Structure 1
Amino acid sequence: MVPLGAQALRTGAPDPPAGGGRYGSMRAVPTVARWWSSRTDPQRLDLYTRWSFYGWLALTPALALMVLGAEGVGTTPADWLYLAGSVSVAVTGVVLARAGLATRWTRRSLQTGPLAAALGAAAVTAGTGVAEGLTRPGDTGTGWLVALPLAMLLTAASPVWTTRVLTRASAGVGLLVGGVLLLAGEPWATALVLAAVFTAAVTGLVLAFRFSVWVLDVVVEMERTRGVQAQLAVAEERLRFARDLHDVMGRNLSAIAVKSQLAAELVRRGREGAVEELTDISRVAEESLREVRDVVRGYRGSDLPGELAGARSVLRAAGVEVTVSGEDGAVVLPAPVQTALGWVVREAVTNVLRHSRATTCTIALSTSDGVAQLRVVNDGVTGDGDRGAGLTGLAERLAAPGGRLSARREGGRFVLTATVPVGVRV
């Protein structure tokens, strides 16, 4: 069959319309491959596991015919009763397996109805098998007459019963088969061996289905974990954006406010320098716009020497006497350390401008024993000096590369200390 598009390319004729053609469009008919590809991996595994259960349990009547033997089927009422029981075992087993698998998704407990029906059908059929086996001494299928309905019951119950319960129940099936064989006249050694064989066979069968349910549980849990990870990633990105926006705009807006007041005062007094301050305001505004865009993109960094120079300029414009020491050592620090300490300088300057009436400020940078330390001390502290949202976010930022932040009040001074390992990798 040639696709419609390929036919059009060969003949030069256009494709028939969506609703045209003698038999209408075939494009709207979903194919099996498209239906299968539209499912997620957990859904595919669930379908495979579910229909493995259904298919195996549906084979119960066919297996019962094989156990009874083709020649002697239907010669006694017990044969018909056993076949009818095998059908009921298949039906109730499918219902039980369906209900049990549904509990794996909904996390709800299994209702007693399906389990009671499957237990009843398996017990009656196994009892019929016991009666049938006692009338057929020496028949090799006697053990399977008893074990078949009980093995199907355990298979159907494997989604809801634990491995320990299933193993013990399988051993019970083997012991029951051994007892029936002894009553049927088999030697005790033969009955013991067959009991062990049936125990191993039923246990292996049931645990194989139990393992498939466990695999389904693992895949479903992994899918749920992926959903939780996605939600956490979104929440973390929101937190990053809020923290970065606060850190970026806090100092810049404070600088714009201070420089605007200074420019207004210079204009009012008729002194020179107002043009320079207004130009600087424009520069800070443009820088703020660029950094906000970088925050949105997530590619924002911080240069420590530039931040120290900016802090000196802003604080001096606000009338604060600034002393910066160790500025030469900032250049040789690794880029991740400069970025981390650059945000400390930003937040410290923001706090000095917004939360104090400082007249002096000291910024000291030092490196010792593989640890870079930045210490900012200012006077004129107002309020109680508690850590605000900015310092909390800064502490979280420093904690990622293994750094620490300390903020405390010493009399009328506020001391902010940040330490970051020089060998940090981010």
Structure 2
Amino acid sequence: MVPLGAEALGLARPATGGRYGSMGAVPTVARWWSSRTDPQRIDLYTRWSYYSTLVLLPPLLLLAVAADWAGPGRWVVLLLGAATLATTGACLWLTHRGFADRTARPDPTALTVAVVAGAVTVGAAVPATADGPSPALPWVVGLVSAAVLLGLSVTVPTRPLCAGAAAGGLLAGGLSLAEGNPPAAALVVGVSIAVTLVALATAFRFTVWILDVVQEMERTRGVQAQLAVAEERLRFARDLHDVMGRNLSAIAVKSQLAAELVRRGREGAVAELTDISRVAEESLREVRDVVRGYRGSDLPGELAGARSVLRAAGVEVTVTGEDDAVALPTAVQTALGWVVREAVTNVLRHSRARTCTIGLSTSGGGADLRVVNDGVTADGDRGAGLTGLAERLAATGGRLSARREGDRFVLTASVPVGVRV
């Protein structure tokens, strides 16, 4: 019989052979880490720096006391261990709550447990050490103070932390002096512990500050992205309004004219319907250009289109300055072309105009366009078109003025000739 291997039995081989077996867990951890964003990595690093440092408190206390261990009773050992674990747990809870809500104050219950358990830890360390002066007790005070300050440093500012470090150094120096050490030695011990606590607390506080800055930058990026999306939506809505407003108004006017010609049996209906088809096809092309974001506006073409549309609506039109329009830069023609388009839309939609005058002039390094029409309706509401048009001109350094003079409406736009868009 042919022996069956692992493949024949349906068993998968290890990812990497050899004496060390599979190393599949390492890529899994790497993928998990690489899937996190930079702010998330910094957050994880900061949190676990706190947690790992606080977890080291019990063994560090044991090492500090072990040098002067005096063979205490079992109850002292149990009390010291329980108090140390309680202090560590309370400080871990303070840290966890601080990272969960950076704006909240420290949990008073956890803080009380940490302080009381820390005091019991120091008290239990006294009978656990040898008789006479012991250098271990001041450092026990320093370790307990460091744990409490670390738990507070997530939410408490630097100055209160430095004050707490100074208080811890003072307690350690006082305990050293009470044990019979010389005042100079007690002073050195107290200052050393205070400086160590200040350095530790400010270092961890600095990491929290860095985390706050990174998270704020991430939130700022998110806000900027949302603003960019909102601005692009406004731009698209404005462009779509400016493109379709006049064309749809022209289609409506020409449709009414064609219907009237058909009812009266007069010639010209076919021409008007053909023109409607042309305007519709042009609108479709312009909408596609708006979607792609490449649409421009030719001022002479806009002036000619305005004359044709308004005359078809029965408005007597006078256009001046067409020769100056050809000589203007493309950017200026684009800006003023939008003004002509919006002005014609307003004449058709918001007035019963009989006459309309469109004048273009160039002087003093700028181009001025003035559109005046009569037959203004009572409400005089021009909708959102002029608002978007004013924003468009303001972006190019130009300005827009719109006012009503009796039954006449005057729209004036000025654009610097040297504008770039």
Report the counterpart of residue 11 of structure 2 in structure 1.
21
Residue matched to 2:48: 51
Higher mean Cα deviation, 400-409 or 83-92? Answer: 83-92
1:66-91 deviation per Cα after TM superposition (whole angstroms, max 9, x unaligned):
32244x43623556644443333222
- Give runs of aligned pairs for residues 88-127 of structure 1, distance below 5 A: 88-104=86-102, 110-127=106-123
- Name the amino acid aligned to 2:411: L
Q: How many residues align?
A: 406
8 Å Cα contact 1:129/1:146 also seen in 2: no
Which one-letter code corresponds to 1:35 in the other structure? W
- Aligned partners of 1:118, 1:248: CA distance in 2, in Å? 69
Worse-matched range after superposition: 77-86 or 126-135? 126-135
Contact 1:376–1:415 (CA under 8 A) maintained in structure 2: yes
Structure 1 gaps, min length 5:
1-15
Distance in 2 between residues matched to 1:112 and 1:191, nearest whole Å: 32
Structure 2: runs of 5+ lacking an equivalent: 1-6, 16-21
Secondary structure of the corresponding residue to residue 245 of structure 1: helix
Alpha-carbon separation, structure 2, partners of 1:380 and 1:131: 102
* Distance of aligned partners of 1:372 and 1:21 in 2 relative to their CA distance in 1, 3 Å threshold: farther
Tell me: CA distance 1:171–1:27, structure 2 relative to 1, closer, same or farther (3 Å).
closer
Deviation, 1:24, is: 9.9
Aligned position for 2:355: 360
C-alpha deviation, 1:309, in angstroms: 1.7
Partner of 1:32: 29
**Secondary structure of 1:407's aligned partner:** strand
Distance 1:201 1:372, change over 3 A: farther
1:171 matches 2:184: no
Task: Give the Cα separation in 1 of the matches to 2:38 and 2:359.
Answer: 57
Structure 1 residues 58 and 322: CA distance shift in structure 2, 3 A: same
Give the secondary structure class of the aligned counterpart of 2:371.
strand
Select the residue among 139, 149, 155 that pairs with 1:160.
155
Structure 1 counterpart of 2:396, which letter? P
- Cα RMSD (Å): 2.9
One-letter amino acid of the counterpart of residue 125, structure 1: T
Q: Scaled by the length of structure 2, what TM-score is found?
A: 0.86
The equivalent position to 1:65 in structure 2, one of 41, 54, 62, is: 62
Q: 2:215: which partner in 1?
A: 220
Select 2:386's aligned residue among 391, 405, 417: 391
From the superposition, tell whether residues 132 and 177 of structure 1 become closer, same or farther in structure 2 (CA, over 3 Å). farther
Q: Percent identity?
A: 66
Write the deviation string for residues 105-152 of structure 1: whole angstroms up to 9, x where unpaired. Answer: xx5555433222222222322344577789542x44443121110111
Contact 1:241–1:295 under 8 Å retained in 2: yes
CA gap of 1:59–1:27, structure 2 versus 1, over 3 A, is closer
Q: Deviation of residue 225 (structure 1)? A: 2.6
Give the TM-score of the pair, scaled to structure 1: 0.85
Q: In the alignment, does 2:241 pair up with 1:246?
A: yes
Report the Cα offset of residue 247 of structure 1. Answer: 1.3
The question of 1:42 aligning with 2:58 is answered no
